[in-house]
Structure 1
Amino acid sequence: MAIKLQTVGSEKSSEATADSARVRRTRDHSVEIVSDSGEGAQKCGQIFGAVSAKMGNGVWTVEIIPAEVEPPPRSIAGASGIRIRLGDGPVTNWGDETDLVVAFNEQVLLGRHRLDALAKGATILLEDQWATHPDDGVRAQWEAAMEELEAAGYRIVPVPMEEICLTRVENARRGKNMLALGMLTWIFDRDVDRVKEQIAHAFRTKPQAIIDKNHELLDLGVEWASANLDFRVDVPTMDDPGDLVVMNGNEAVALGAVASGMELAAMYPITPATSVSHHLGEVFERFGGIVHQAEDEIAAAGVAIGASYSGKCAFTITSGPGLALKTEFLGLAVMTEMPLVLVDVQRGGPSTGLPTKVEQSDLMAALFGQPGDAPKIVLAPATIEECFHSMITARRLAEIFRTVVIVLTDANLATGVAPFLRPTPDPAWQSGPPDQSAVPADGRPYDWDARTGLSDRFIPGRPGGMHTVTGLAHDERSKVAYDSASNQRASAMRSRKLAAFQSTLQPPRINGADSGDLLIVGWGSTRGAIEEAVERCRGEGLSVSSLHLTFLSPLEPGLTEIFRRFRKVMTVEINYSDAPDAPFTTAENRRRGQLSWLLRATTLVDVDCWTRVLGEPLRPGAIARAIREHLPGGSA
């Protein structure tokens, strides 16, 4: 029959031929799958997101991971799952509240509700077995949760997930995720064959019988949804998205390392960085690479430095606690001017902190964590595509400038999935063979150029290049030197390299007008949310712009001049800062966001900050509210 499509925004209504289901056409839609740990909600969302991207939608996913490895089942704080945001164009962040939820029990759903993660009027497909559970306590929890959820105005659709899954598998916990995937496949009109191909890829290391069983469960989900649901969602696809790849940030880091020509990754498992080594483990050996799992974080740094000493730059992978443990070896790499790439997938701190939650926690530690003056290059990719290319850039900079390069990603990028144009490999991404030519008779291992601080690196085995490598203060000959002049000169040369590198950088691009009332400055994975918020506010006529920094040491040039063109400058970050009106807090003792602190020191501009440490990515709506409050004349 002919039905009218529900529309949003300024789009006009249209007619379509379909079954009796209402079809909502929208440019943007979010869905969450939430469950107890171990029920496969994330796998469901990863497959759904990958298929949607391959079919031409913009996609961004964010995994919802509890802090505990396996929290108690049916716990409000133990929700495990994933959000997938779809768009008819590129999607750069997870958005605000979600429009549709598939929940495997009411308690994890309640947790998401209390975090204000659900949109007003959201539709919820909810496992209904708990309503008639034999345990009186479980039924009481169900009734209390239903009262709270129904009062919030959600549309709750009961789904007999357990009952359906038990027709195919003995343990429904092992099947609900594929049943949910089938329901989403029908709701969003995904190509079933493509979904089955993605399932086969996701379970490629499993026996065929397991893949077949997952296909059966998918079909059951499609069948149940088509027979019982009265709504569908149409997010138009891009006409020609190009030749895309779909991956998460950790996979992009791994493939970027391969493309860069680095041949050794030394690491010790740590959340949320470990899966970089998993991805490398599948492909690295084919390209001559080695993944070395060391006995601890300190040893991993030492192995990578030793490998770099042999002639080709190596890298190590970690998160905040591991960065702290690697501190002494990073100082050694700086002092010996040994090329080294370190990937820090940031998480909540301090100490063990929030192992599975996002935070931009390590900027200050990356910059100043070593004793003495230890200059190094620090860069922060803002997208999953940049995670790939940042590894190529990091390797080149480490070798050209004989220094440590730290790549700061975070848990948002690490586990998020998004499509981007397939990179075309370029031989220039890789370094040539190590120089084994004879060293000139007057050559010195630290023969610094007075202008740039650069010097030729002596690879072991070069005729005439024998010298002692030391972490002690040394002169141009690498001889231990405690005299004042040698130490002053060596320190100046190590620092000079960063100034020389900064001279090659361009000022950052401004998103919006070149001057105005408020400039928002961000770094890392917050770019998409910041720019979406700025676009909303500019659409309201507000005078706000933004810029995003990739290089944090050295900073990109021209910042002071740019900042002076705005009445107010404010950073937006996922790290802690004191509220200006907090008890005992003054303008002098206020602890500020890490980038704000850095920019105030380097530009002498009064850079304000708005930061949050909620354990989740920033939402565009929250940033937009902060912009309105912090505009000159606002309520902040």
Structure 2
Amino acid sequence: MDRTNVRELQDVVIRFSGDSGDGMQLTGTLFSDTSALLGNGISTFPDYPAEIRAPQGTVAGVSGFQVHFANRPGLNPGDYCDVLVAMNPAALKANRKWLKRGATVIIDGDSITEEHLKKAGFATLDPLAELKLDEYNVVIPDITTMTREALKDSGLDNKAIVKCKNMFALGICFYLFNRPEDYAKRYLDTKFAKKNPAIAEANKRAMDAGYNFAANTHQFANTYNVPPAHLEKGTYRTISGNVATAWGLCAAAEKAGLPLFCGSYPITPATVILEELAKRKDLGVKTVQAEDEIAGICTAIGAAFAGNFAVTTTSGPGLSLKSEALGLAVMTELPLVVVDVQRGGPSTGLPTKTEQSDLVQALYGRNGECPVVVMAASTPSDCFHFAFEAGRIAMEHMTPVILLTDGFIANGSEPWRIPSMKDYPTIVPPIVDKAPEGGFMPYVRNEKLARGWAFPGKVGLEHRVGGLEKDSVKGSISHDPANHQKMVNTRAAKVAKVVEDIPDQTVLGPQEGELLVVGWGGTRGNLQSAVMQLQEEGKSVSLCHFNYINPLPRNVREIFARFKRIVVCELNEGQFAGYLRQHFQEFHYDQYNKCEGLPFTVVELKEKFYTLLAE
């Protein structure tokens, strides 16, 4: 189709929003995957309601999916949207605050009824005036009616037809941003090939109807093109943080030459890791959906004793339940990776929202002197690398490792350059295959202070493990005070010695200056965007973002000493800042904290940094 008035943009943020049953997650995923196939950098933010099934048409039940696609690698899903697709008044009301000035708003006109407006909490029958949208480009197509018309001879019932309205909205956006429909149509054919091909055909026709509506009615003055990003050469795919975590664990098992075992209890937002691992029977992965969190970690500890690379996955409340068994893994000195996909807490809290409030629990949430390695991933794609690293450290150092991600990066997605496994190191656990002269002593240690890993069933390697303190060499039960002191010191020294096996901390930007921004885990994309924008303005700002938390990298003190001011930004009330004060008391730390169940915005970060630089 010939087009006029095509404008080229560097980046665009679209937010798809509607009721939980309106298919917004699928709509956003198909748009983002299509953009990724065109070579755009993308970053996504699925935003689920916290209630399993909130009342339809209410603000509490609004589900959203935000995608940021650009002509450069995506660092974050964007603060505010250029286009809002709202399937009902509640979605419009919930997302009004996220509109950029002059944004395009597409709302299903059929949904603007007195009943829907009342459910959404509007005081009048004119939502556009009430929300002061006169300065925005508001388009109100009757999406439901046109979907029904397009599918009137499909043979589907009315309920099934109305469910296709999200594809009508997707077709509008495909036209508006010059996206081809081919990938989305192939996905629909594959998804419904066996279940119901008629559903696939109906969705494709609805998509075409939306595309043709946008092309023929001239309600959009322009269409837009976002050129491909300049990415490093390689084979890419879109990946979410949870899937990347699962695959990184599989890679670690492969490089160790051991079977992977995952014992877990389903919990939002970590369940997808268990589901993804359950698909990998072709790689020898074994999964157990346990009856509770405690059973999940205990099966994993048993699997580690039996010679598996053992993993358990959870979120904050589940990590609490696993704490006693995690102490058992520390005492037995068995390798174990615990993945904690953090969510808003405490208790059930905000199960579909993001937060970084489990750090103190990960560091200290066990009885006794019970140190473990703590790491954090920063982006959806680097969840692969840090899951691999967690497995490597756990197996080579014979210690539990907690890997922290969060709901933001676990559910979000971005292009991932598929690595070659030859570029990843072989993992060499201290496996003992045969008894040495004089007999096997289970707590004799190597240069990493790791004890030998002897699998059961081998003659001469019989030994005891358990929760009671063991003799520092023989492994027999010991109540000797001096031996307990020695073992406490040794276990702490073993974790501290991991510092020799991790990279030095890096700084983005000048290596000294006025302000050092410090963050950890999933906040990196937003912090990096804010810092880079200030650097482009000539401000003396640098970023120091942490992935290795216990132990901290060796050169942290030297880095901090080179900056006049340090601000620690985290999605909690200051847990990492408090941890840094314990280790490096000579520095003053400003804090910027947020506990809204949402990631930082670049705008609010920049305002904070401007304030600190001006003081």
Q: Which of 572, 575, 585 is the equivalent residue of 1:575?
A: 572
Asked if the contact 1:76–1:109 (Cα under 8 Å) also holds between the matched residues in 2, the reply is: no
Residues 207/431 of structure 1: CA separation in 2 closer, same or farther (3 Å cut): farther
Partner of 2:33: 50
CA shift, 1:47, in A, is 1.1
Partner of 1:19: 3
1:80 aligns with 2:63: yes
CA shift, 1:520, in A, is 0.5
356-365 vs 225-234, which deviates more?
A: 225-234
* 1:614 alignment partner, SS class: coil
Partner of 2:180: 191
Q: Which of 237, 241, 252 is the equivalent residue of 1:260?
A: 252
Cα deviation code 1:584-616 (max 9, x no counterpart): xxxxxxxxx111011111111222210111111
Asked if the contact 1:376–1:498 (Cα under 8 Å) also holds between the matched residues in 2, the reply is: yes
Q: For residues 45 and 613 of structure 1, what CA distance do their matches in structure 2 show? A: 26
1:123 aligns with 2:119: no
CA shift, 1:239, in A, is 5.3
What letter matches 1:25 in structure 2? E
What letter matches 2:506 in structure 1? R
1:502 aligns with 2:502: no
Asked if the contact 2:44–2:414 (Cα under 8 Å) also holds between the matched residues in 1, the reply is: yes
CA shift, 1:55, in A, is 1.1
Q: Which of 89, 103, 106 is the equivalent residue of 2:72?
A: 89
Asked if the contact 1:529–1:618 (Cα under 8 Å) also holds between the matched residues in 2, the reply is: yes
Unaligned runs of 5+ in 1: 1-16, 577-592
Residues 570/42 of structure 1: CA separation in 2 closer, same or farther (3 Å cut): same
Cα deviation code 1:416-452 (max 9, x no counterpart): 1110111223484566896532344243111135x64
What letter matches 1:325 in structure 2? L
1:405 aligns with 2:389: no
1:28 aligns with 2:17: no
Q: Which of 201, 207, 214 is the equivalent residue of 1:218?
A: 207
621-630 vs 82-91, which deviates more?
A: 621-630
Q: For residues 521 and 318 of structure 1, what CA distance do their matches in structure 2 show? A: 26
TM-score, reference length from structure 1: 0.90
Partner of 2:224: 233
Q: For residues 488 and 405 of structure 1, what CA distance do their matches in structure 2 show? A: 23
What letter matches 1:247 in structure 2? I
Cα deviation code 1:199-219 (max 9, x no counterpart): 335556643222222211111
Q: Which of 383, 386, 397 is the equivalent residue of 2:379?
A: 383
Asked if the contact 1:460–1:466 (Cα under 8 Å) also holds between the matched residues in 2, the reply is: yes
CA shift, 1:141, in A, is 5.8
* 2:131 alignment partner, SS class: helix
What letter matches 2:593 in structure 1? T
Unaligned runs of 5+ in 2: 254-258
Aligned-pair identity in percent equals 35
CA shift, 1:400, in A, is 0.8
Residues 452/389 of structure 1: CA separation in 2 closer, same or farther (3 Å cut): closer
Partner of 1:315: 311
Asked if the contact 1:35–1:81 (Cα under 8 Å) also holds between the matched residues in 2, the reply is: yes
Asked if the contact 2:88–2:112 (Cα under 8 Å) also holds between the matched residues in 1, the reply is: no
Q: For residues 583 and 193 of structure 2, what CA distance do their matches in structure 1 show? A: 51
Matches within 5 A, 1:467-506: 467-475=463-471, 476-506=473-503
Q: For residues 359 and 484 of structure 1, what CA distance do their matches in structure 2 show? A: 41
Q: For residues 134 and 374 of structure 1, what CA distance do their matches in structure 2 show? A: 57
1:461 aligns with 2:457: yes
Asked if the contact 1:128–1:158 (Cα under 8 Å) also holds between the matched residues in 2, the reply is: yes
Residues 159/141 of structure 1: CA separation in 2 closer, same or farther (3 Å cut): farther
Partner of 1:541: 538
What letter matches 2:227 in structure 1? P
Partner of 2:584: 603
Q: Which of 135, 138, 143 is the equivalent residue of 1:153?
A: 135
Asked if the contact 2:246–2:277 (Cα under 8 Å) also holds between the matched residues in 1, the reply is: yes
Q: For residues 134 and 606 of structure 1, what CA distance do their matches in structure 2 show? A: 55
Cα deviation code 1:116-147 (max 9, x no counterpart): 21111110010001335678957976724221
Asked if the contact 2:264–2:313 (Cα under 8 Å) also holds between the matched residues in 1, the reply is: yes
Cα deviation code 1:333-371 (max 9, x no counterpart): 001101101111000011111100000111110110001
Cα deviation code 1:197-252 (max 9, x no counterpart): 23335556643222222211111111111112323221111356531011111111
Asked if the contact 1:398–1:404 (Cα under 8 Å) also holds between the matched residues in 2, the reply is: yes
* 2:12 alignment partner, SS class: strand
Residues 277/49 of structure 1: CA separation in 2 closer, same or farther (3 Å cut): same
Asked if the contact 1:563–1:569 (Cα under 8 Å) also holds between the matched residues in 2, the reply is: yes
359-368 vs 238-247, which deviates more?
A: 238-247
What letter matches 2:201 in structure 1? D
290-299 vs 390-399, which deviates more?
A: 390-399
Q: For residues 202 and 62 of structure 1, what CA distance do their matches in structure 2 show? A: 23
What letter matches 2:209 in structure 1? L
Q: Which of 227, 237, 240 is the equivalent residue of 1:248?
A: 240
* 1:462 alignment partner, SS class: coil
1:420 aligns with 2:416: yes
425-434 vs 484-493, which deviates more?
A: 425-434
Residues 574/64 of structure 1: CA separation in 2 closer, same or farther (3 Å cut): same
Residues 496/438 of structure 1: CA separation in 2 closer, same or farther (3 Å cut): same
What letter matches 2:557 in structure 1? T
1:629 aligns with 2:611: yes
Q: For residues 87 and 476 of structure 2, what CA distance do their matches in structure 1 show? A: 66
CA shift, 1:517, in A, is 1.0
1:528 aligns with 2:525: yes
Cα deviation code 1:167-209 (max 9, x no counterpart): 3252254112111111111111112212212333555664322
TM-score, reference length from structure 2: 0.93
Q: CA RMSD in A?
A: 2.1
Asked if the contact 2:434–2:460 (Cα under 8 Å) also holds between the matched residues in 1, the reply is: no
CA shift, 1:530, in A, is 0.5
